[in-house]
Amino acid sequence: MNDEAIETPDEVVAYWCETLTAKDWWQSAPALDVHVTERFAATHLALSRGVTPPWRASPEARLAAIIVLDQFPRNMYRASPMAFATDWIARREARLALDAGADKLVGFDRRHFFYMPFEHSEVLADQDLSIALFEAHGDEMYLDYAQRHHEVIAQYGRFPHRNAFLGRVSTPEEEAYLTKPGAGF
């Protein structure tokens, strides 16, 4: 793998938080997915192998690592098991960042990315933490999403919309849920 293909934490944050908008983050766009893959796949692979000290050197670097491990795979590997493969690493890095107080040292408009790995988890304790973090954060939109994610995990123990991608068989209750408007985030 070519080291030149590995982006720096500053480049990740500049791209995700300054070049893109919130609309880009939350809307499925094939062209964006292709661009994220072309530009950041090598960076994602490198961090999946090991988060090195430069990615923990500052609050912004920690933010970048979480974006690479939690957000980018959802673009790069949409509708595949790979979209969730580094979630556990993202949660570990988010916990380390929270322990270091990094979330409080970045701008309010970026802070939610430290909390999203817990919202993406299929573990109820992580969902509980997500709710607490988003309540303290004070942004009603993000809290609403966290509460909706929590409700799904509390009810089903997993995200039913991932079942097809992960080769899991949906229960009749999950199939009924998936027919509802807005199911699956």
Question: CA 139 to CA 14: how far, in whole Å?
Answer: 22
Tell me the pLDDT of the chain averaged across its residues.
95
* CATH topology assigned to domain 121-184: 1.25.40
Domain spans of the chain, in order of start: 1-107, 121-184
pLDDT in tens, 126-153: 999 999 999 999 999 999 999 999 999 9
Question: CA 164 to CA 140: how far, in whole Å?
Answer: 31
CATH class of 1-107: mainly alpha
Please give the pLDDT value at position 184: 81
Question: CA 90 to CA 150: how far, in whole Å?
Answer: 18
Question: CA 88 to CA 59: how far, in whole Å?
Answer: 20
Supply φ then ψ for residue 33, to 5 degrees: -60, -45
Evaluate whether 97 touches 111 at the Cβ level (below 8 Å): no
Please give the pLDDT value at position 55: 98
Eight-state DSSP code of residue 102? G
pTM comes to 0.94
Does the pLDDT at position 42 exceed 70? yes
Q: Check residue 80 and give left, alpha or beta (phi > 0: left; psi -120 to 50: alpha).
A: beta
Question: CA 51 to CA 181: how far, in whole Å?
Answer: 38
Question: CA 44 to CA 72: how far, in whole Å?
Answer: 8
Q: Which residues in the chain belong to E strands, given as ranges?
A: none
